[in-house]
Chain A
Amino acid sequence: SQQGEEDPQALSIQEGENATMNCSYKTSINNLQWYRQNSGRGLVHLILIRSNEREKHSGRLRVTLDTSKKSSSLLITASRAADTASYFCATSSYQGGSEKLVFGKGTKLTVNP
């Protein structure tokens, strides 16, 4: 039951450029989270945005949420080679009477030095 779908599936940019990843979902959500996964490692939480919020910032990260379009975007400014990773959105919503967190398939970001 995939909820979030990231776009693009893969993104390659030069160091110093900005990277934008998008996430679309289908049903009402309580919050949306973004995670990063370096190759061969576990996921690391980046940021959580609640359904009543429109924008959040954390360092070089900016997340927006448009509940009317059921979409979110993650912007990484002034990218670095160390930002190379896969990025996943995860949506929290009530399913079958309980709250569940459902992950998308991810965007693979490559930042070239």
Chain B
Amino acid sequence: NAGVTQTPKFQVLKTGQSMTLQCAQDMNHEYMSWYRQDPGMGLRLIHYSVGAGITDQGEVPNGYNVSRSTTEDFPLRLLSAAPSQTSVYFCASSSWPSGRGEQFFGPGTRLTVL
């Protein structure tokens, strides 16, 4: 099993550009989440999904969109990138609702917005 995969590993954007961060898991997990990690801030939840077709906002959702058309994939879209979105983004999946059990993390995408 590949676990949780994320692409790309690195990305540089200019302010105002849009892009999609890809996340896929092959463990048939219902629950998937997106976090951002900033220096000295820990991980903060952006959006999460409890199954195909169902998404909800986390702590810091502004500027991001998500959709979940399949169990395997959970892409994160930046509609108009801003320097404040410079961060490392992690996707995670779990067979449990958020918090009830182990979360499996992808390797991360390091995004820089100029």
User: Pick the contact of B41 from A90, A98, A100, A105 — CB < 8 Å?
Assistant: A105
* Stretch of B12-20, B62-70, B73-81, B98-106 with 4 or more beta carbons under 8 angstroms from chain A: B98-106
Interface residues on B, range: 20 to 34
Asked whether B41 lies within 8 Å of A30 as measured between CB atoms, the reply is no
User: Pick the contact of B42 from A31, A41, A103 — CB < 8 Å?
Assistant: A103
User: Pick the contact of A43 from B40, B41, B100, B105 — CB < 8 Å?
Assistant: B105
* A106 and B99 in contact, given A42-B107, A43-B90 (Cβ under 8 angstroms): no
* A106 and B42 in contact, given A42-B90, A43-B90, A101-B98 (Cβ under 8 angstroms): yes
Chain A residue contacts of B44, Cβ below 8 A: 103
User: Pick the contact of A101 from B40, B99, B104 — CB < 8 Å?
Assistant: B99
User: Pick the contact of A31 from B45, B90, B100 — CB < 8 Å?
Assistant: B100
Q: Which A residue sits closest to B108, measured CB to CB?
A: A42
Q: Does A61 contact B (CB under 8 A)?
A: no
Q: Does A48 contact B (CB under 8 A)?
A: yes
A44 to B99, CA, bound (A): 14
Q: Does A56 contact B (CB under 8 A)?
A: no
Q: Does B54 contact A (CB under 8 A)?
A: no
Q: Does B43 contact A (CB under 8 A)?
A: yes
Asked whether A105 lies within 8 Å of B42 as measured between CB atoms, the reply is yes
Q: How many A-B residue pairs have C-beta atoms within 8 angstroms? Tell me.
A: 61
* Residue-wise interface mask of B (37-72) relative to A, using a CB-CB cutoff of 8 A (1 in contact, 0 not): 000111111000000000010110000000000000
A54 to B52, CA, bound (A): 36
A31 to B98, CA, bound (A): 11
* Residue-wise interface mask of A (10-50) relative to B, using a CB-CB cutoff of 8 A (1 in contact, 0 not): 00000000000000000000110101000011111100100
Taking the closest CB of chain A, its distance from the CB of B70, in whole angstroms, is 22
Asked whether B40 lies within 8 Å of A105 as measured between CB atoms, the reply is yes
- Chain A interfacial positions (CB closer than 8 Å to B): 1-2, 30-31, 33, 35, 40-45, 48, 88, 90-93, 98-106
What 9 new A-B contacts, CB under 8 Å, besides A31-B99, A99-B100, A101-B103? A1-B59, A2-B42, A33-B103, A43-B43, A48-B101, A88-B43, A92-B100, A100-B98, A103-B42
